[in-house]
Each structure stands twice: as C-alpha cells, then as structure tokens.
Amino acid sequence: MGTTLFASIMTTRDAAPVEVFVCGGTGLVGSALVAQLRAATSTPAGAIVQLRGFCSSREVTRERDGATTAIAGDSVSDDEILACCSSADARVCVVDCTSSAVVTAKYAPWLERGWNVATANKKGNSGDFSYYKRCVEATKSPSGGKWFVEATIGAGLPTVSTLRTLVATGDAVESVQGIFSGTMSFLFNTWDGESAFSETVAMAKAAGYTEPDPREDLNGLDVARKVVIAARECGLSISLDDVQVESLVPSELEGCSAEDFMTRFSENDAAIAARARAAEEEGCVLRFVGKVDVKRKTATVALSKFQKRHAFAALSGADNIFEIQSARYGPTGASTPLIIRGPGAGAQVTAAGIFGDLIALASTR
C-alpha cells in the first residue's frame, strides 16, 4: 500500500495541487491535520496537497508559505474560504473537522460548484437522506466536486474505502458488524463483569475516554450514525430513524443533569452485571456492537454476546474492529470474514485518515 501511495504521489507532482481549507482547524483533530500538512511541506505529499487556511467558529486564518494572516468575517462563508486559496479556479478541498450541522449544510453547495469535501463529521452522510443523495448526485456531475468520508468511520482505518472497493469490484456485501466506538470498546474491554459497571464508566470519564456527559456515548447515537454511513455505502436507503438502538442509559436518567446521572447510574449496575454473568455462563463476553444486515435491510446497535474465541472478544484498549461478510468473504465464499482492526479514535490517526483522503484526491485528475 505504501509503495502504491508513493507512486501515486510521484505521478501527480506536476498536476495542480489541491489547496486545502480546514474548518475546525483549531480543534483537536483540525489542529493535528494542520500540523501534519505543515510538516509535509517539503515532502512529495506537500507538493500536491497545500494548506491555504483554517478557521475556528470565530476567526479565519489564511496561510501562505508558512505565514499566517487573520481575516475578518464569517468563518465558513464561501467568500472567505476562496480568499484563503491562491486563485478562484484552484482545486479547492474544504476539510470539515467539526461536529457542526452548520458546516455539513454547506456540503451540497460546495460540491455543486466543483469544490471537494473531506470530512470527519458524521452528520452529513448519516443525516437527512434526501440531502445525502443531493451530495452524492453532485459528485456524479462532470462539474461536481468529490466527497471523501473515510474518517467518519474508524478514524484512519480503511473501512469506507474497503466497502467501496468491494462494491465497485462486483462483490455483494452481506453484512457489516463491528465495535464502532472507541469509548464503548474501552468500557467493555476494561470492565471485568464483576465490579460495578458504573465505576468503570466513572474511571473512563475521569481519564477522558468518554464525552463530558457519558450518556452521549452510552445512548448509542454515535454508533448509530456510523452504522447508517456503513449501510448507505452498502447501497441501503436508510436513516437514523431506521436503526434499532439499544441505549445503555435508563429512561429515567435521560433527562437529569450530567452530575445526577453519574450519581444515579449505579442503580443500573445489578441489571448489567446479570447480563455479564449470563454471557459468561455461555462462554461469552458482552460487546457494544453496530450491525448492518444488508440482506434483510436492517441496522441495529445493541449490547451483544460473543464467544470468547470471536475476534470481537479479543479486542483491547479503545480499538475499533469491523467484520465484513460478502459473497467473497465469509461462509458464502467458503472463506473467513474480512476483518479491519485498529485505533478508531484519536486526533493524530483521524487527521491521518483525512490526509490520506487529500492524497487520494490529489492523485485523481
């Protein structure tokens, strides 16, 4: 893979470079990407992918030859982004490192005017289906831009690109299941099933593994968004409302304050411990898993049991893992499923996933 990527870079060094503007460029992922782009300036990659500016929600910075200049105005307006590029006819790529729906609402207009978009923001390709289709249709137009979404599932892992390759080469994807959340992976890889689960959640929160309000992880919505993205890549026309989600947040704790939730979540310890014991009696472990059943056209997020010999049971830390079964991979193809495993979160690996998309864009003509 490295040799192929280097060859692609070398064959496109004389092409017009991709000029990059990063929305959310001062956040964790955005600042990591800005740093990676700056560090690559003197490399082959830097010859074809060039940082032209970045913004926060409050300010815009133009970048040229290592010098930065502040710009007044709307941080995500078309005019200001254009001002950060060398010319109006440049190969523009807007990178979205935010979680803002305000930014994703601009994808379709950007793509329709011929700008490219690379994103780690899941709200665009898991949101309203008609808007998603508008974005996809824009990419099919001869004058439309390209839309790169690798970092929306599994950070820098090649999950979306693998699904696209399978589909493009005529394989029939039958199912995709996996541990889509680094937080939920960490919780169930760490919890021993005997101590209080609420204590593991509190420990993870203190260590920064969860959102400030852990309910944002435990309710399964983040996983559901990634499941929708995977399902759409497999050709299913589904939306978030179509995903059957098992939330680990008791209904009576959904509306209380974050502080009250942390105090009262221990009320759920006995119930989840009973599920862990039942799984153990069957030689299984519990894992929080998202699944797309392409044949049945269903999508689910649930706390599920897996035999200890299963790949999901052997996971460690906060890694993500995905199992893809298709006509070629898995029982139908008299083979084993295709497994993708690795870090599914973290600023550096997520930024690297986006950088890979930028290289892929620059390698196309």
> How distant is the alpha carbon of residue 309 from its chain centre?
27
Beta-strand runs (E) in 1-90: 18-23, 49-55, 60-64, 67-71
**Helix, strand and coil in the chain, % to nearest 5:** 45, 20, 35
CA-CA distance, 215 to 280, in Å (whole number)?
Answer: 26
For residue 354, the one-letter residue type is I
In Å, how far are 195, 287, 294, 305 from 312, measured between CA atoms? 21, 7, 20, 10
Which 3 state secondary structure label does DSSP give 283?
Answer: coil
Answer yes or no: are the C-beta atoms of 323 and 338 closer than 8 Å: yes
CA-CA distance, 359 to 363, in Å (whole number)?
Answer: 6
In Å, how far are 177, 243, 303, 316 from 283, measured between CA atoms? 20, 28, 16, 18
Active-site annotation holder among 123, 226, 291, 305: 226
DSSP 222: H
CA-CA distance, 344 to 38, in Å (whole number)?
Answer: 24
In Å, how far are 160, 168, 173, 258, 279 from 333, measured between CA atoms? 21, 17, 11, 48, 30
The dihedral sign for the CA sequence 130, 165, 107, 323: positive
In Å, how far are 80, 109, 144, 152, 303 from 135, measured between CA atoms? 22, 8, 9, 16, 33
Active site residue 226: yes
Beta-strand runs (E) in 222-311: 243-245, 284-293, 298-307
What's the count of helices (H) and strands (E) in the chain, helices before strands? 16, 13
Annotated active-site positions, please?
A: 226
